[in-house]
Amino acid sequence: MRQIKDDIFEVGAIDWDRRLFDELIPLPDGTSYNAYLIKGSEKVALIDTVDPSKVNVLFDNLQTAGAGKIDYVICNHAEQDHSGSIGFVLEKHPCAKVVTNEKCKQMLMSLLKIEEQKFITIEDGQELSLGNKTLRFIFTPWVHWPETMSTYLVEDKILFPCDFFGSHLAASELYVKNKELVIEGAKRYYAEIMMPFRGQIKSNLEKIKDLDIGIIAPSHGPLYDEPEFIINAYKQWTSDDVVNKVIVAYVSMHGSTKKMVEHLTETLMEKGVGVLQFNLVNADIGKLAIELVDSAGVVIASPTVLTGAHPAAVYAAFLFNALRPKTKYLAVIGSFGWSGRMLEQLKSLLPNTKAELLAPVIIKGDPAGEDYKKLDELAETIKIKHREYKII
Ligand code: FEO
């Protein structure tokens, strides 16, 4: 339990050991499930809960904070790492009401089987008085589900945005201390779940811009006592700007594709283009997602397996399509033995992308003279693009 101000406490749990989220997303630095207790002069509110695996930590912290009777459980987001302990809280506090929006209510009824009479449904901008403290609910959808909202504690100028601005980071400090570490965790989190909704997140940033915010208290990672630090980072990530960087995501079976990747990388570097190689066989997919947030371009490099792309390259194309980065261009390079439909297959996996598809370089066998010339042409095209974007 950590006190933020008089009658305001962080009562969630740090999960030092968790290494995978949704059985999909790597968590190299663990995470936390932050929950907040607000003790008003007349009513007591709990903002979000914790992953059900940590419910005992929540109850211990509530006791230490002297929570007493809880009147309201505010649910900013229905995903179970925040909502999953609501049922346990309701068992202990049978008179408590769950306060949330209509969409979230429907999800909680479906996911957690909470009965409808347990809810108070609120509208965008509505306020709820706790006596000397006021909670205002601000709908901030698609960070990263459609029902997500933020809660603003008016008198204390604290914004509780749940996943929005959060970082998967287990840290003992209440507020951000190591900015470099937090920004990597926050960028990773943005990249993995929020990047597909970049336009909506821009709208949400616009929506909160006139709020007087002293503290941002997300539901993962440390709190921000300098809110501009994370707001400005989000503005940059959601902008249309890219940086001088091309991601070369590759897999090679017998070395031909690797030779192409090495040649392209060296040629791009000679031309002043920044390159990041990811061997898809053992790459940290979260790290790849982080770099997709602002890279100018992506090259997928693959050999041919059973007439199509290597499954690792298929996975990369699938992720690229799902995450919808603001990448300006995409190219496919690779090698085949006797025939192949790698290019057509990868293109079919990318219906969402608005990136320009550059001329591919698909060669037969091991690369030789003419093949390297084609790679040189691709590198030159990329350099010209980066000059056009004014990033080199
Ligand atoms: Fe932290 Fe979308 O849950």
Residue 203 included in any domain: yes
In this structure, are 39 and 173 located in the same domain? yes
Quick one: 280 and 220 in the same domain?
no
User: Does residue 54's CB lie within 6 angstroms of at least one atom of ligand 1?
Assistant: no
Instruction: Find all residues with CB under 8 Å of 354, minimum gap 6, and list them.
Output: none
Ligand 1: nearest atom to the Cα of 166: 1
- The 3-state secondary structure of the chain reads CEEEECCEEECCEEECCCCEECCCEECCCCEEECCEEEECCCCEEEECCCCHHHHHHHHHHHHHCCCCCCCEEECCCCCHHHHCCHHHHHHHCCCCEEEECHHHHHHHHHHCCCCHHHEEECCCCCEEECCCCEEEEEECCCCCCCCCEEEEECCCCEEEEECCCCCCCCCCCCECCCHHHHHHHHHHHHHHHHHHHHHHHHHHHHHHCCCCCCEEEECCCCEECCHHHHHHHHHHHHCCCCEEEEEEEECCCCCHHHHHHHHHHHHHHHCCCCEEEEECCCCCHHHHHHHHCCEEEEEEEECEECCEECHHHHHHHHHHHHHCCCCCEEEEEEEECCCCCHHHHHHHCCCCCCCEECCCEEEECCCCHHHHHHHHHHHHHHHHHHHHCCCC
* CA–centroid distance, residue 266 to ligand 1 (Å): 40
Do 254 and 318 belong to one domain? yes
Residue 24: pLDDT above 90? no
Give the CA-trace dihedral at 217, 223, 225, 226, to 10 degrees: -100
pLDDT in tens, 249-270: 999 999 999 999 999 999 999 9
Query: pLDDT tens digits for 195-219?
Result: 999 999 999 999 999 999 999 999 9
Give the domain CATH number at 276. Answer: 3.40.50.360
Q: How far apart (Å, rounded) are the C-alpha atoms in residues 103 and 303?
A: 45
- pLDDT score of 359: 97
Q: Are residues 49 and 163 in the same domain?
A: yes
pLDDT bracket for residue 339 (50, 70, 90): confident
Residues 180 and 250 placed together within one structural domain of the fold: no
Same domain for 289 and 374, yes or no, is yes
CATH of the domain at 58: 3.60.15.10
Q: Has residue 83 got a pLDDT over 90?
A: yes
pLDDT(22) > 90 = no
Establish if 392 belongs to a structural domain: no
Tell me, yes or no, whether 362 and 306 share the same domain. Answer: yes
In a domain, 106, yes or no: yes
Asked if residue 259 and residue 373 are part of one domain, the reply reads: yes
One domain for residues 126 and 202:
yes
| Token duo for residue 182 | 């937090």
Q: How many domains does the chain have?
A: 2
Q: Which atom belonging to ligand 1 lies closest to the Cα atom of 33? A: 1
pLDDT digits (tens, 9 = 90+) for 356-372: 999 999 999 999 999 99
What pLDDT score does 26 carry?
84
Look at residues 238, 261, 276 and tell me which one is the last residue of a structural domain.
238
Cis peptide before 82 (omega within 30 of 0): no
Confirm or reject: Cβ of 48 under 6 Å from ligand 1: no
Q: Is residue 391 part of a domain?
A: no
Residue 340 has pLDDT above 90, yes or no: no
Which atom belonging to ligand 1 lies closest to the Cα atom of 162?
1
Between 22 and 388, the higher pLDDT residue: 388
- Would you state the pLDDT for residue 274? 98
Q: Is residue 53 part of a domain?
A: yes
What pLDDT digit, counting tens, does each position of 325-335 carry?
999 999 999 99
Shared domain for 264 and 137, answered yes or no, is no
pLDDT > 90? residue 21: no
Q: Which residues, other chains included, contact 38 with Cβ-Cβ below 8 Å and sequence gap of 6+?
A: 7, 8, 44, 45, 46, 47, 130, 133, 135, 153
Question: Which pLDDT belongs to residue 20?
Answer: 87
Which pTM does this prediction carry?
Answer: 0.95
Whether 222 and 266 share a structural domain: no
Tell me, using a 6 A CB cutoff, whether residue 18 lines ligand 1: no
Q: Is 147 in the pocket of ligand 1 (CB under 6 A)?
A: no
Nearest CA-CA partner of 362 in 345, 380, 383: 345
Same domain, 258 and 374: yes
120 part of a folded domain: yes
% pLDDT > 70, the chain: 100
CA-closest residue to ligand 1 atom 2:
79
The overall average pLDDT reported for the chain is 97
> Considering 199, 216, 238, which residue would you say is the last residue of a domain?
238
Instruction: Give the separation between CA 231 and CA 243, rounded to whole angstroms.
Output: 19
Domain range for 83: 2-238
Distant-in-sequence, close-in-space partners of 370: CB < 8 Å, separation ≥ 6: none
Q: Which of 178, 204, 238 is the last residue of a domain?
A: 238
Query: In this predicted model, what pLDDT tens digit does every residue of 305-326 receive, in sequence order?
Result: 999 999 999 999 999 999 999 9
Q: Is residue 390 part of a domain?
A: no
Model confidence over 116-135: pLDDT tens digits?
999 999 999 999 999 999 99
- Pairing relation of β-strands 308-309 and 304-305? antiparallel
Confidence of residue 23 (pLDDT cuts 50, 70, 90): confident
Residue 224 counted as domain residue: yes
Using one digit for the tens of pLDDT, what is the confidence trace for 122-178?
Answer: 999 999 999 999 999 999 999 999 999 999 999 999 999 999 999 999 999 999 999
Which residue has the CA at smallest separation from atom 1 of ligand 1? 163
Tell me what the mean pLDDT of segment 94-111 comes to.
98
Which amino acid would we find at residue 361?
V
- Nearest Cα to Cα of residue 315 among 291, 339, 279, 341: 279
**272 contacts 264 by C-beta, under 8 angstroms:** no
